[in-house]
Amino acid sequence: MRMPGLRRSHELGFGTHAVCRGPGALRAGVLAAAVALGSLGVACGRPAPAVPGSSPASAGAPASEPRTGNPFAGIRIYRAPYSNAENAQQRLAKTNPADALLIGKIAAQPQASWYGGWSGDVRTVVTNYVNAAERAGELALLVAYNVPNRDCGQYSAGGASDDSSYAEWIKGVAEGIGQRRAVVVLEPDALGLLTQCLSPEDQEKRLELIRQAVVLLEAQPGVAVYIDAGHSGWVPAAEMAQRLRRAGIAEARGFALNTSNYRADAELVSYGKELIAALGQDSHFVVDSSRNGNGPAPAGDPEDWCNPEGRALGRAPTTDTGEPALDAFLWLKRPGESDGACKGGPPAGQWFEARALEMARNAKW
């Protein structure tokens, strides 16, 4: 079931970009009594631009050092190489330098790495990605997107085949991170769409799966988890607060807003504060600002969340938020990667250059 004006779609198939390529790159848990920690793969990476508003990692402090408080403070977010935007920028530099400069606005920003069933051996690919971030002295930012019946069968349909498969999969994510530092945004859409396509029994199962995932991931000494909580135009704060409680928010660092959507910063900050008040507990949040520079598309389009025209890049990633509870503005959804096969766009996650260029042109920076 599609929710006009509320939905959003996500990357599919781009969690493996952090596997090394090319000459220069290459608490106790309900899910498991213990997590076997290890390090696989080859570390890779390169210097990345500083996240605006944040300071670089302290000299001599390893990225694996456990931290308390804002997990983004004092460390850059890792910008992985070989993104769709970077590849497009390099290609356009040979034929259309002006467009290459526009795409460069996207390519230069650190963005999250998404993982799901398309990722293959998730333990290995996550290890490779976190190794690369650690080698660069930077922070790994991951999105876990594999809950069963993901996206209610819409453009980003899929997910683990059953609850036990998901439990094993999320264990692989935790093992891949090991004792290194990382931030995980957990299951976009899962709470927002909770009542749209699941029976009451399956709703309870999903909430328990997410709660178990939070417990397992937060048991890793360097991991901070933000549970996706939709956005300001979707589920009322009082209802979303109930879902967050049942999904383990008490064990997480906080929640994430606007993942892959276009709502404006001001209304998201207001909604985030309203959510914290409804929760009745200390919590924090992050906002996906990657594509909200012009706010949402005008009302009237039943799929205004899917590749809308006239949008713009939002503010660049930063910890300079002016709000104590707002840990960071992040780029979770990668600008230029399609929301789905709509409005002339390719399948979800594939590069949609026309939209990338439009958002870059419309950016107010």
Q: Which residues are catalytic?
A: 151, 189, 339
Determine contact, residues 296/263, Cβ cutoff 8 Å: yes
Determine the Cα–Cα distance for residues 257 and 278; give it in Å rounded to an integer: 15
Q: Which of 93, 111, 113, 114 is nearest to 102 (CA)?
A: 93
| Sheet of strand 254-257: strand arrangement | 113-115, 140-144, 182-186, 223-228, 254-257, 284-288, 326-330
Give the residue among 173, 167, 149, 184 at the shortest CA–CA distance from 259: 184
Phi, psi of 329 (to 5 degrees): -90, 130
If you ran DSSP here, which 8-state letter would residue 239 be given?
H
Q: Are 334 and 12 in contact (CB under 8 A)?
A: no
Checking 32-38 for CB contacts under 8 A at 24+ apart, the result is: 32/171, 32/216, 35/171, 35/174, 35/175, 35/216, 35/219, 35/220, 36/175, 37/175, 37/178, 37/179, 38/127, 38/175, 38/178
End-to-end CA distance of the chain: 37
Alpha carbons 16 and 18: distance in angstroms, whole number: 5
Which tokens go with 259? 């993942």
Give dist(CA 99, CA 360) in Å, integer.
9
Buried b (16+ CB within 10 A) or exposed e, 233-260: bbbebeebbebbbbbbbebbbbbbbbbb
Alpha-carbon dihedral angle through residues 185, 191, 197, 198, given to the nearest 10 degrees:
100
CB atoms < 10 A from the CB of 195, how many?
13
